[in-house]
Amino acid sequence: MRLIARFCIENSDNFEIVTVYDKTIERTVTDKQKPSVTTISDRYPTAVWFERKMHDDFGISIEGAFDTRPLNRHERFPDVHPLRKSFHESDLHTVPFRPYPYETIKGESVFEVAVGPIHAGIIEPGHFQFSQSGEGMLHLEVRHFYKYRGIERMLEGKSLKKSGKIIGRISGNESIAYQIARFKIMLEASGRPYPIELQKYHALLLETERIIHHLTDLGFIPNDAGFGAALAYASRLAEESRRFLQKLCGHRFGFDAVGWETPAYKPDEIRTFTAKLQKEIDWFEAWITDIPSLWDRFDKTGILTRAKAKKYGCVGVMARASGLQTDSRQEPFYQNHGFRIATEKSGDVAARFKVRIQEIKTSLKLIEAFTGDGTPFTMEPPSKSDYRDGDYMSFAESSIGELFMFMRLKKGKIERFFVRDPSFINWQALHLMMPGNIIADFPLINKSCDLSYAGNDL
C-alpha cells in the first residue's frame, strides 16, 4: 500500500489518528491525558514528517519513532501545541534559543554547508543542510516550515463558502488544484453530482495551470545548467499561457475561478492558443534536444530510482519520471477525454524534463477535448443547511502531483481541515538524489522537482 497522509483530529474525549492509504483508511484513538501512537515510519519513511507534525501540533507522543525532533516548532518556538482546541493565545512568546540537531555525516575531511533559509531568489524560506566531501554531496537534510501560517486552525469554524479564498491561496502554483479539491468536497457533502459542464471547465483551468508551471520549469532547468536562452523562451510561453488563463477566468493565477458557474468564452480563441503553443513546444523540444552539453548535465544527474520512489510514496513528475504510474487523473472522466499517462524510467533530471514536455502536449490535447461551445452554465450553489455532517476526502492532480484534502463538517461548518500537498511527500525524498553528485548540481536537481515551500507550511 502507498501512504497518502497521517493526521490527527481532536474529539471531545480523545484524539483520533487517521492514516490514509491508497487502498484503505485506518483510524485509532488515544487518550487525551497521555496521548501516544505507534510509529509506522519503519514501513513508510515519509510518515516521519506526519508524525513529527502531530507531536508539534497536538502533543502526541510517537512510540518507536527514530526521529522525534520538532518539525514546525523552530528554535525559539514555545512549548505549546497550537492545534489543540484549548489553545487560544493570540501571540506566541519566544523561548531561549535551542539548537536544532541536524542529521550530518562525520568523518575526516567531511564538512557542512548550510543553504538558506533565506535565498537569493524571491521564494519562501527553506533550509538545506549538506554534508560534503570536497564538491561531492554525501547527505542532505531538508528543513522547512519557517512561516507556519496556522491555516488548519484558521479554517476551523468557518463555513465552506467562506473557506474558498483561504484554501485557494495556500500554494500559488496549485491554486486551481486546491480549489477543485475543495469543490469536490462541497459536492459530496451536499449530495450533488458534478455537472459535466463544470467538470470540463474546471479541468480546462487545471490543465492550463499545469502548462504554466511546466513551462516555467522547462526554462529554469536548462538555466540552472548554464543555458539562459531557454529560460527566456519558456518564460515568454509561460507568460502567454498565464494571460490565456486570465482571459478564461479573470485572474492570472486562477484565484476564485472554480465555482458554480462557467463564464462565456470563445472556443476559437482556445483552439488558437493550443495550436500556437503546440508548435512552440515542438520547436522548443527540438532545440533543447540538439544541445549535447545540456544533456551531459541532465543525464544521470539526481537519480531517484523506481524502488526508492515507490518506498517513499512519491507523487507527480518525480514519481512518473522514475517509472511509477502515479497520477490521480487515471479515472474515467479524464481517460474518456484522451488522457494518457507520461512516464520515463531513468529517474534523473533528463527524465523529469522529458515528462514535463510530454505532459504539456497531453494537456493541450485535453484542453481541446474539454472545450465546449462557450455557452455559460450556472448551477445553484448549496446553502449552508444542505451540507451533511461527516468526514470528506478529495484528490486533485496539481502540477506538482497528487493533492489530498480532508474536511470534517459539523453543522455546516469546518470542524477540522487538513491538506497534504504533494510537496510534503516529495521533499522527504529529495535527499535520495544527492549522493554521487556535486553541490553545484543541487539547484538543477531541486528545480527539476519543482516543489512548493508554501504547500508544506500550513
Sequential DSSP letters for 133-198: ETTEEEEEEEE--SS---HHHHHTT-BTGGGHHHHTTSSGGGHHHHHHHHHHHHHHHHT----HHH
Give the type of residue at 34.
K
List CB contacts of 55: < 8 A, sequence separation 6 or more: 61, 62, 68, 70, 71
Q: Please tell me the predicted confidence (pLDDT) of residue 23.
A: 93
In the block, cell 533550509 appears at 127
Cis peptide before 70 (omega within 30 of 0): no
Q: Please tell me the predicted confidence (pLDDT) of residue 169.
A: 96
Q: Please tell me the predicted confidence (pLDDT) of residue 102.
A: 94
List CB contacts of 121: < 8 A, sequence separation 6 or more: none
Q: Please tell me the predicted confidence (pLDDT) of residue 242.
A: 98
Give the count of beta carbons closer than 10 Å to the beta carbon of residue 440: 11
Q: Is 107 exposed, middle or buried (0-12, 13-18, 19+ CB in 10 A)?
A: exposed
Q: Please tell me the predicted confidence (pLDDT) of residue 113.
A: 95
149 and 419 in contact (C-beta within 8 Å)?
no
Q: Please tell me the predicted confidence (pLDDT) of residue 122.
A: 75
Buried b / exposed e along 205-233 (16+ C-beta atoms within 10 A): bbbbbbbbbbbbbbbbbbbbbebeebbeb
All residue ranges of the chain with pLDDT < 50 are: none
Decide the pairing of beta strands 261-262 and 14-21: unpaired
Q: Where in the chain is the domain with CATH 1.10.645.10?
A: 156-449
Give the count of beta carbons closer than 10 Å to the beta carbon of residue 52: 21
Q: Please tell me the predicted confidence (pLDDT) of residue 235.
A: 98
CATH topology of domain 156-449: Cytochrome-c3 Hydrogenase; chain B (1.10.645)
- Name the residue among 61, 44, 42 with its Cα closest to residue 1: 44
| 448: region left, alpha or beta (phi > 0 left; psi from -120 to 50 alpha) | alpha
Q: Please tell me the predicted confidence (pLDDT) of residue 67.
A: 94
135 and 128 in contact (C-beta within 8 Å)?
no
Distances (CA, A) of 378 to 66, 182, 197, 259, 286: 53, 18, 9, 9, 43
Where does 336-411 have alpha helices with state H?
Answer: 349-370
CA distance 365 to 361: 7
The continuous run of DSSP H or E covering 281 comes out as helix 267-289
What's the N-to-C CA distance of the chain in angstroms? 26
Q: Please tell me the predicted confidence (pLDDT) of residue 144.
A: 95
Bridge partners for 73 per DSSP:
none
Q: Please tell me the predicted confidence (pLDDT) of residue 92.
A: 83
